[in-house]
Structure 1
């Protein structure tokens, strides 16, 4: 990492489109020029993105890279306005912006709910919810003349319902939580609307926490409230709200994209779907290959070098906001071979991707996301074996922003 380097100024910065779009063609072009590239974030803020698999893996565990916003030079210098669309990613109190002992404390408070054993115990409830949602999805298709939006009627309510049950959130809040989450994670939200969405989401989460404080239950929010009130691993009010925000947003947005992208992939690669039906590949293989080939997250904000770093021969200055380019790393030919652009369930070394993170900040909810996605996909294609897209892939409207990677709608024909 400390070999002779090229200055990032030697490479034309990539201007990220706040409106999003399919990232793969641009990623391939950028990767051809190197694993690390300068980028221009919304508002003209200079940043960097790590695109290559090996460089990203090293960066995610580098001892001189931090998550805390105090290391974000432009923020500490007052150059980041309140309505900046990525501000929440930088400043929300919680695991994603904590380092060292604080990060371990917060992760430990939540981690017990996401152990493989605890998650596996949730399988019967997930399977029951999946069956109910498939019934409603079928009804929606019949009402729609044989076509229904699978993202709206199936891929969304499953992970959103599960995480809200886990947190003890009243189902009446689910639609509003998703609406506000979408505004918070989008990178094209107009500044005044972004400020309002963050305020409204924080207020709603505070109301949810207060309701659980009045009537504690067997849910994770009640556990966090108890931790806040006990000596020892205390959780202050802002950390509580920030943790709830993280769990709800990350607990459904990424799995929503994962299931949506997997269905798109299987509809476009019927030969790969046939491998699963013939028993030559499993639904877990579908999940892992989708995570690699079409990661639910394109560019995730932020990490900051605490000193000038040289990464893959490129200087990354101290305090620079750095994006983790998960979608690019998933198709890096240097790690996944010259056919990295192909969706292949028989790929050697499948599962060797970074789409769920790496190191201390590895996705805490990974076991739950994998379980939800495998159950959802198996049940969907078992109930509707002839399911296919109702419009060409190129006509599907893309996700708003460059953080999430998916489409906003997925109209499909379930078939007989």
Structure 2
């Protein structure tokens, strides 16, 4: 009996030309599937329960510098290096992660989150009012007009970004996550 070869990774399109097809393909592959992201093999996890288990498991590291043998080679040329090379709370673990988490934890206390409900309601109301002001009969892209601006507006509020600076803040965040 010959050993079975692992399936070839799904090569992700960096332009995102057909994201819906890619999403269907990734979900059809099960909870986790091997992908190729601009020449770098990685796992795409589509099961929220598995993702939570991985992110909270002490045996799983998010620190590529410490546990990815080709890290230094990859970050030299990979267009998405910023996503894995940045040093922050999301890529830290252990004592460094706890230190960084303690710094931001007060912003996410139960009292602060409960108080945020009114702010989020106001933001959603404003976004819905903007939708209501669009010409009747036109197709509305809810992702563009509601799902996209809502989180960054809430995050901007949490970070204390003044309303007049939030479009620039959004532009900076978009730039960080731009895969083109």
Smaller-chain TM-score bracket: 0.7 to 0.9
Work out which structure has the larger RCO, using CA pairs closer than 8 Å and 6 or more positions apart in sequence: 1
Inter-CA distance 29–131: structure 2 relative to 1 (3 Å threshold): closer
What whole-Å deviation, never above 9, does each CA across 1:307-362 have from its counterpart, x for those lacking one? Answer: xxxxxxxxxxxxxxxxxxxxxxxxxxxxxxxxxxxxxxxxxxxxxxxxxxxxxxxx
TM-score by length of 1: 0.37
Inter-CA distance 79–165: structure 2 relative to 1 (3 Å threshold): closer
- Structure 2 portions without partners, runs of 5+: none
State the shift of 1:67 in Å: 1.1
For residues 125 and 12 of structure 1, the distance between their equivalents in structure 2, rounded to whole angstroms, comes to: 46
For residues 125 and 40 of structure 1, the distance between their equivalents in structure 2, rounded to whole angstroms, comes to: 40
Q: 1:13 aligns with which of 9, 26, 38?
A: 9
Structure 2 counterparts to residues 205-224 of structure 1, below 5 A? none
State the shift of 1:127 in Å: 2.3
State the shift of 1:100 in Å: 0.3
Structure 2 counterparts to residues 109-188 of structure 1, below 5 A? 109-142=103-136, 146-187=138-179
Inter-CA distance 105–133: structure 2 relative to 1 (3 Å threshold): same
Moved over 6 A (4+): none
Q: Report the structure number with the largest CA radius of gyration.
A: 1
Q: 1:39 aligns with which of 22, 35, 40?
A: 35
Structure 2 counterparts to residues 226-237 of structure 1, below 5 A? none
1:41/1:47 contact within 8 Å kept: yes
State the shift of 1:54 in Å: 6.6
The SS at the match of 1:97 is coil
The SS at the match of 1:141 is coil
The SS at the match of 1:130 is helix
TM-score by length of 2: 0.76
Residue aligning to 1:94: 88
The SS at the match of 2:74 is coil
For residues 117 and 61 of structure 1, the distance between their equivalents in structure 2, rounded to whole angstroms, comes to: 24
Inter-CA distance 81–121: structure 2 relative to 1 (3 Å threshold): same
Structure 2 counterparts to residues 7-406 of structure 1, below 5 A? 10-20=6-16, 21-22=19-20, 23-31=22-30, 35-42=31-38, 44-50=39-45, 56=51, 58-70=53-65, 71-76=67-72, 78-82=73-77, 84-142=78-136, 146-187=138-179, 189=180
- Structure 1 portions without partners, runs of 5+: 1-5, 190-416
State the shift of 1:49 in Å: 3.6
For residues 56 and 128 of structure 1, the distance between their equivalents in structure 2, rounded to whole angstroms, comes to: 31
- The root-mean-square deviation of aligned C-alpha atoms, in Å, is 2.9
2:26/2:44 contact within 8 Å kept: no
The SS at the match of 1:168 is coil
State the shift of 1:148 in Å: 4.1
2:127/2:146 contact within 8 Å kept: yes
